[in-house]
Structure 1
Amino acid sequence: MTREIDYGNLMHTAMRSLIKTVLQDVADNGLPGNHHFFITFDTNHPDAQLADWLSDRYPGEMTIVVQHWFDNLVIDDDGFAITLNFGDNPEPLYVPLDAIATFVDPSVEFGLRFESAEHDDEDLEDSIVTELEDIASRESEPKPATEKKDADVVSLDSFRK
Structure 2
Amino acid sequence: MIRSAACAAALFTLAMPALAGPEAFQPGTVVPDYGKVFVPEGVSLPADTVMKVAFDIGEAGPADAISRRLETPARFLNMHAAAGVDPANLHVALVVHGAAGRDLMNEEARGAPNPNAGLIAELLAAGATIELCGQTSAMRDIAAEDLLPGITIGLSSMSTHAVLQQEGYTLNPF
TM-score range, shorter chain: under 0.3
Bigger RCO (CA 8 Å, 6+ sep): 2
Give the structure-1-normalised TM-score.
0.23
Structure 1 or 2: larger helix share? 2
Give the structure-2-normalised TM-score.
0.22
Structure 1 or 2: larger strand share? 1
